[in-house]
Amino acid sequence: MPPAEAAVPSPTPPEPPAPLVAVAEPSPVVVAPNPFAAGAELEPLPAPADDLWVRIRRGYAMPDLDDALVAKWEQWYASRPDYVARMLDRSRRYLYYIVVEVEERRMPLEIALLPMVESAFNPNAMSVSRASGIWQFMPSTGTHYGLRQNFWFDSRRDVIAATESALGYLLKLYADFGDWQLALAAYNWGEGNVARAIAKNQTIGRPTHYASLKMPDETRNYLPKLQALKNIIRDPEKYGLELGDIPDAPYFAVVKTTRRIDMKIAATLAEMSIEEFQYLNPQHNRPVIAGANEYTILLPIDKAELFAAKLHLSDQPLVSWQAYRLRNGETLPQVAAKFGMSVDALRAVNGIGARSKVPIGHALLVPLQGPTEAAADTLSNAVFTTVPQGRTFYYRVNRGDTLAGIAARYAVSGQDLRRWNGLSQEGVKVGQTLRITSDLAPNVGKAKRATGTEVSTASAKAKPKTGKPAARAGNGSATAKAGVAAGG
């Protein structure tokens, strides 16, 4: 065949738009807004996948426990099929992602079941010790492992961020002890406590494996709970339970955007209920997603691309909340009436305790009739200092007080005090009023200062090695109860 004649070059057609969702483990990522041609077709949904439970069973790698405590917890779960069903239903949103992350780190897949013990997979679970999220991080420990907590969001409830921090911490514990059972005991009880128990056994010539150590009842029951769940997932029919199918495929996709947006508007764009949206994005403390340069939003994989498209095409304001500064002589009831909301709702939205007093000039989050660009601007210019956990109160600085001393008195960090009060330096002035959120009431803080107890508490939280032990001691059973109470 003779060579073809050179054709006259024609204009190069534009490149077809890249798909908005690239399905990849551990989860697909959508960057929104994302330029693409109008009318781009949505990617077809992935083909049906195998059952995730099969994958988990194949990944079991820890030695089995077989004792009376395991039997006790098998019976406990088997006698509560409704509780187990709710826990498993919640887990279907997050479990695939966690399994992939655990496998990538070459960890036993039993670790993926640990949130069942910690929180019953309830992302909003809060223990009596203020441990939060599916992995139940304490505030100080979360901060140490990079989980930010501020007015706008609490990353301990962020499924992706908290999972990364929890698995990183567990790997550290395994490196410390060289044994997964001891590592899990340390996650619950604290590595310092486990190390001391091992040293004590070594001194008296006793074995140092998990079963031989003397430990609190809570920690003694921690691994048997996990073993019971492991056994139930291995053979649910034996216990009269049904697991339900969980596909071995991503449940959610990750959407990244720089735009502030109301939670309700985001849910509407994704064609989801606000409840389901919050299950995937539980880290946000307020009714508007704000407070950062970029926001990560999790959405069901079949809704993410449509959401990104709508967000890109939308030229309407997306924020219907604004910053409002309390004026001289103005009360919270007056502000609530001005903006058509109840006092309780105003306090709840801003994380203000029922007995807390709000100083003049304090920034409050209040609603508008509808979304406006000006509202979003006010959120950028205001400094919000309330945090959602603990009791909020105000402390007047006395002669001889230091920022570090006040922080120690109420078992918070100096960084928290600076953030809550907009302080740029370590120094405080006599007569200055500081906003504090703590589980310690003001009179309790003073009593602890007299005995010096608060200093040891604060220093324990500040040290990487002892932050988790101090935080998690006595926490395991409380977190399980929190999971039940909050939706278990």
- Point out the residues that are catalytic: 118
Residues 6 or more apart in contact with residue 179 via CB below 8 angstroms: 209, 210
Q: Which two tokens stand for residue 186?
A: 């340390």
Nearest to 87 by CA among 101, 76, 103: 76
Helix, strand, or coil (residue 11): coil
Please tell me the distance from the alpha carbon of residue 228 to that of residue 180, in angstroms, as a whole number: 16
Residues 6 or more apart in contact with residue 21 via CB below 8 angstroms: 28, 30, 43, 253, 301, 304, 305
Please tell me the distance from the alpha carbon of residue 363 to that of residue 360, in angstroms, as a whole number: 9
* β-bridge partners, 252: 300
Do β-strands 29-31 and 252-257 pair in parallel, antiparallel, or remain unpaired? Answer: parallel
Amino acid at 356: S
Dihedral sign (CA 78, 82, 86, 88): positive
Do β-strands 288-289 and 29-31 pair in parallel, antiparallel, or remain unpaired? Answer: unpaired
Please tell me the distance from the alpha carbon of residue 239 to that of residue 6, in angstroms, as a whole number: 75
DSSP single-letter state for residue 436? E
Q: Which two tokens stand for residue 217?
A: 């009842």
DSSP codes joined into one string, 29-78: EEESS----TTPPPPPPPPP--BHHHHHHHT--SPPP-SHHHHHHHHHHH
DSSP codes joined into one string, 167-211: HHHHHHHHHHHS-HHHHHHHHHH-HHHHHHHHHHHHHTT---SGG
Residue 189 C-alpha from the chain's centroid: 20
Helix, strand, or coil (residue 126): strand
Buried b / exposed e over 48-59, threshold 16 CB at 10 Å, is: eeeebbebbeeb
